[in-house]
Structure 1
Amino acid sequence: MSHKFQRNSPQMLGVASTVSSTTPSNQPRKRVKRCCRNFVTFMCTQVGVGALIVVYAIFGALTFMHIEREFVDTTTAHVLELRQNFSQRLWNITEEHNLIDKPLWVNETNSVLREYQAEIAAIIKNGYVGRSPADMWSFPAALMFCLSVITMIGYGNMVPRTPWGKGFTVIYATFGIPLYILYFLNMGRVLARSFKFLYRSLHDCTQEKNYDARLEALEGGGSLGALTLRKKIIVPSTACLWVIMFYILTGTIMFANWEKWSFLNSFYFCMTSLCKIGFGDFVPGASLTTAADVDAATQKLREDIAADPNEVSELQRIADQHSKLAINFIYMLLGMGLVAMCRNLMREEVRVKLKEMKEDTKLCVEDTRLRFVGCCGDPRDLYENDYY
């Protein structure tokens, strides 16, 4: 049999050399494509999405710290100057009247204090919080701000003041909100599957004795009705509500002890945060404690200067301020996952209930029709008699 190209012909050698020369150059490209494909596949998993949202929040916190700490806030100096001016005016009024005419002194001091109050209220309305940007934009506080942006809670206790910060907030929310929705769906699916497995395991353990008893009754000559088949187990909505309530009560106790809130205010904060309302009237770590106060309290605790137990407790509370904000970040992320879990489980129960309701409605309509036919006869017979 003749071939157009022999095995060792120059044409075949040229093709082989071409293939061998192109194959090594394509291998790195294929390896890069394979690595990218594996990376994208991993990032679409539950672990990958969770890690991605944590990294995204840390990246946003560091970026906001770098941007907002460069903001030169002249409001603090203005407030200090305002306080000194009004103090001097009060002193001048006191020297002028010398408490001889007390009603006149009271009227003029009240007028000055009302004017000072109006000035301070206007400054606070414009965003003054009594702290410098360097103290306010600590890493845990910036992390909480990023969480409030991507979860659409929006506490409002911290806002960017610089144009670059406002622009970056828009871009950060544009990419962060879809990422959070992906995390919400994936985490809800994983937690729902895990909770369903746990619930079914507990249900099987509790129902095992009853099932064995029915099986023994059947083997002993009982009727087939004594043995009921195992049907699909659906997690009831009451179990989901109990899980959410337990989680909210845990957060209530935790924040009440940390922030010195009442239990009602702490419960109110947990509910509004998990429902993504975020009024901003109660926010963990939103006190006037600065980063310098935290460092000073930590240093004082290390030197063991404070001997008073109450003072030690207060210093410990201040020193743990940043760690509490980080724990609150984890609490909110896990809480959002539990809300998504309850959503998936309750949606499944609603579907099953609607399907059962549909079947029951069909049976009810059919039973009503049969009863009507049994009592009054088939209406079609009347039409047939009239026709003939």
Structure 2
Amino acid sequence: MCSKIYKLSAKIFEPEKSSDQMLQKPDNRMANCKNASKLAKCRHYFRVFITHLFSHVGLCGLVVGYAIVGALTFESLEAPNEINQRSTIQKDREKCLKDLWNITVNLNVLYEENWTILVGSRLKLFEQEVVNAVKNEGYDGKESNDDELQWSFSGALLYCITVITTIGYGNIAPKTDVGKVVTIFYALFGIPLMLLCLTNIGDLLARSFKFTYSHLCFLCRNPRRTQPIPIQKQQVGEVTKTPLDKPMEISTLELCNGDDKTLSGNSPPLSSSPTKSQISNNTTSVVVMPEPTPVVVERVYRDNSTAEEQRVPMYMVLLLVTGYICGGAVLFSLWEKWTFLNGAYFCFITLSTIGFGDLVPGSDIFDAQSGQAKLIICCIYLIMGLSIIAMSFNLVQEEVVIKCKNLARNLGLLRSQHDDDDDD
């Protein structure tokens, strides 16, 4: 009893809650709802971003942006070192000339043998300095005031493309310690990204090429009829509305193949028109349909031929790759003043990602004022060529798998498709 009285007095004398305190819980709920809605929107936008990022267009844009950022990075890291090396070699050359003059002045009487020994030893020292600068420091034999650099934007872009595609010409390479470290991390992220992009583009090109090839083959084999056969609307309606539409398609397919087979099952053979006895004796029997019309025959033939023409023969793929290599050979032979054989050799070595580096574009296409557009064109040719090679691998792989399965069926190692259909 005392506890009840104590609780009642506590409730009576309890201070009243202010309006702010009463609205505190609803405000917290509203804030939580807003935060949840913002989080849901962020998740939605993130999913949309990832979807577009890993689509075909997103991957291509990501690779292009990655290459451009890498080109700007390596240009800023390696270009100053290249200019410094040119200045160093120029100073060494001037010092060598001064030493040669001092040798000549110090010899009061010029003896050819003595002068040749002294001058030859000094020239040999200068040659060693030049060779070391070419092999280890990236010296290309140009002056320090020359505007054309190896590590320009176009040169750095070609270097980035050769790194992430694993071609690696080797004509230019980073000489600074920072550039070498950046190359390692740049390749670690760039090579998987480039392979993913080439795989997706190759799959897209393969499907597009199969679609185009199948439709071109269909147009060549089935030209449009100049005089179509007139068909009554009533017959077409009867054909489309009948429940025996599927057996009728099978029969027309057999007629197209030239086989004289009847339909399997308890259904009667098709005749040209139903007889009166059949209609009067069995009213619940299946209505016998007329002979297949040319429209149905053409439709079944189109579906069957399209399924077979999805396969692209190997010689078409080889012709496409050979044509691309020959086109590049003609282009580079005209620009670089190479022979056609050297141009074809360069294209094959490049597209096969071997990349010896003995032939590299960039000598005679454009002058320095054009911004070395030749290297950018070479990058475009390289990316398109690798995409075509990826497409070719995809198409050839499908054809080889089909040939191997057919060979295994002929040898009895695999069950044939007809046996599988009979079991079903």
Fold in common (TM above 0.5) = yes
Counterpart-to-counterpart distance in 2, 1:243 and 1:98 = 74
For residues 98-247 of structure 1, the aligned pairs below 5 Å read 116-126=126-136, 127-131=138-142, 135-209=149-223, 224=258, 230=305, 231-233=307-309, 234-247=311-324
Larger Rg: 2
Task: Return the letter of the residue paired with 1:232.
Answer: E
For residues 291-330 of structure 1, the aligned pairs below 5 Å read 317-330=367-380
Secondary structure of 2:64's counterpart equals helix
Question: What CA deviation, in whole Å up to 9, does each residue of 1:35-93 have, x standing for no partner?
Answer: 11011011111111111100111111112222223437543333223333444566677
Aligned position for 1:3 = none
Do the aligned residues in 1 keep the contact of 2:154 with 2:373 (CA within 8 Å)? yes
Change (3 A) 1:250 1:97: farther
Task: Return the letter of the residue paired with 1:83.
Answer: R
Do the aligned residues in 2 keep the contact of 1:97 with 1:105 (CA within 8 Å)? no
Aligned position for 1:56 = 66
Change (3 A) 1:321 1:98: farther
Do the aligned residues in 1 keep the contact of 2:199 with 2:390 (CA within 8 Å)? yes
Deviation at 1:245, TM superposition (A): 1.2
Do the aligned residues in 2 keep the contact of 1:196 with 1:235 (CA within 8 Å)? yes
Aligned position for 2:237 = none
Secondary structure of 1:282's counterpart equals coil
Which deviates further from its counterpart, 345-354 or 356-365? 356-365
Out of 32, 49, 57, the residue aligned to residue 39 of structure 1 is 49
Which deviates further from its counterpart, 333-342 or 230-239? 230-239
2:39 is the alignment partner of 1:29: yes
Task: Return the letter of the residue paired with 2:374.
Answer: K
Secondary structure of 1:71's counterpart equals helix
Do the aligned residues in 1 keep the contact of 2:82 with 2:139 (CA within 8 Å)? no
Task: Return the letter of the residue paired with 2:141.
Answer: G
Computed over aligned residues only, the root mean square deviation of the Cα atoms, in angstroms, reads 3.8
Aligned position for 1:348 = 398
| Aligned pairs, number | 320
Counterpart-to-counterpart distance in 1, 2:258 and 2:382 = 51
Counterpart-to-counterpart distance in 2, 1:363 and 1:147 = 46
Q: TM-score normalised to the size of structure 2?
A: 0.65
Task: Return the letter of the residue paired with 1:159.
Answer: A
Change (3 A) 1:267 1:16: same
Alignment identity in percent? 36
Aligned position for 1:382 = none
Counterpart-to-counterpart distance in 2, 1:24 and 1:129 = 63
Counterpart-to-counterpart distance in 2, 1:136 and 1:18 = 63
Counterpart-to-counterpart distance in 2, 1:150 and 1:363 = 42
Secondary structure of 1:342's counterpart equals helix
Secondary structure of 1:155's counterpart equals coil
Out of 283, 293, 298, the residue aligned to residue 360 of structure 2 is 283
> Larger helix proportion, structure 1 or 2?
1
Q: Which 5+ residue runs of structure 1 have no aligned equivalent?
A: 1-12, 213-217, 290-313, 367-388
Deviation at 1:129, TM superposition (A): 1.9
Out of 72, 77, 80, the residue aligned to residue 87 of structure 2 is 77
Do the aligned residues in 1 keep the contact of 2:154 with 2:372 (CA within 8 Å)? yes
